[in-house]
């Protein structure tokens, strides 16, 4: 059972790291788009825009990168 818990912990950690990386990209997008228009566009608008325009490509590029050795 300890192995199972360890596997779940690693999976959860990996999922959390992916969440954090995606969130960071969304926040960068929010900042860039807000700078373009001269005011804060808000997280929800940035999130929706980033998902529509960039999420698929971002995920593909993350899957193609080799992991730590």
| Domains held by the chain: number | 1
Query: What is the mean pLDDT of the segment spanning 55-65?
Result: 92
What's 52's DSSP letter? I
Band of residue 20 on the pLDDT scale cut at 50, 70, 90: very high
Q: Which residues form the domain of 51?
A: 24-56
Residue 32 within any structural domain of the chain: yes
Whether the predicted pLDDT of 5 surpasses 90: no
pTM of the model: 0.77
Residue 51 within any structural domain of the chain: yes
Band of residue 1 on the pLDDT scale cut at 50, 70, 90: very low
Return the higher-pLDDT residue of 4 and 54.
54
Alpha helices in 1-69 (DSSP H): 2-37, 43-50, 56-64
Residue 16 within any structural domain of the chain: no
φ/ψ (deg, to 5) at 68: -65, 140
- The tokens of 10 are what? 């690693």
């Amino acid at each position: 059972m300890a192995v199972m818990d360890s596997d779940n912990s690693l999976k959860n950690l990996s999922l959390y790291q992916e969440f954090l990386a995606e969130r960071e990209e969304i926040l960068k997008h929010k900042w860039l788009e807000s700078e373009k228009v001269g005011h804060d566009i808000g997280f929800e608008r940035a999130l929706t825009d980033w998902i529509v325009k960039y999420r698929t490509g971002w995920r593909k590029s993350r899957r193609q990168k080799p992991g730590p050795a």
